[in-house]
Amino acid sequence: MIDLSKLSANRLKSAPYSWAQIDALYSPEDAKALARTYPHDHFKTVSGYGGAKDYEYEARQLIAMGSHEVVNPQALSRAWLALSDSLRSAQYRHAMSTLTGQDLSHAPMEVNVFHYGPGANLGPHPDLDDKRVTHILYFNETWNPADGGCLQILGSADPADVVAQVPPVIGNSAVLVRADNSWHAVSRVVDGCRSSRRSVTVTFYRPGSRSSMWPADDPTPLHPYSEPNNATLV
């Protein structure tokens, strides 16, 4: 499903920290199938304001932390089951290890699916110290950067210090190697946006880490994700 040669043949940028933008990950046919069958089931609302970072979005498990188990597979299309298999493969880990220069062959991994609807955002932050590498994949067929929802690579904690911006268009992706200065954010999705910003985050952790997104016995109720009123499903 994923063209792994795009990962292993790429090179990380060194400024403002180690990261890469990698595009055209899928064939046109697979890209269309993934975008049009993007999951809308078993989401929870995640939000927080006034702490180290502000955030608000909808999240769904795809692959459970450290278990390689696909979560709620009965609700996924064939394309999404195939993508899940690709992400669980040893070949994907090898390609990511080659790209980042880190041995990720046995690193605990977690994969989550996200909808960022109108008003959703993720404030400037470096990832938590227990994270080693993050791969963010995007699934909107089209997207206007003026609507927000773009990954912003930052040179500092200042949200205006934007070094690069990655729109969430199908096939686009970004790899971030965690560091104390690996500042990044997701720009706020504007009110009235007619579609959610859609992404999947693959996170490789240090041994012994636990999921901060899905803690054990999480009581948060799950729900289907509904598009904004008058939204266009793409």
pLDDT in tens, 120-178: 999 999 999 999 999 999 999 999 999 999 999 999 999 999 999 999 999 999 999 99
- Checking if the pLDDT of 231 tops 70, the result is no
pLDDT in tens, 72-128: 999 999 999 999 999 999 999 999 999 999 999 999 999 999 999 999 999 999 999
| Residue 162 CA: distances (Å) to CA of 51, 64, 84, 98, 150 | 21, 32, 32, 27, 11
Query: When comparing pLDDT for 198 and 56, which is higher?
Result: 198
Fold of the domain spanning 5-205: Jelly Rolls (2.60.120)
Of 177, 222, 233, 172, the closest CA to residue 203 belongs to 177
pLDDT at 234: 39
pLDDT value of position 49: 78
Domain coordinates in residue numbering, the chain: 5-205
Query: Model pTM?
Result: 0.94
User: What's the pLDDT score for residue 52?
Assistant: 61
Residue 55 pLDDT greater than 90, yes or no: no
Two tokens at 117? 């609807």
From residue 3, alpha-carbon distances to 7, 53, 124, 183 in Å are: 8, 34, 30, 28
Question: Does residue 232 carry a pLDDT above 60?
Answer: no
According to DSSP, the β-strands at 131-138 and 162-166 are unpaired
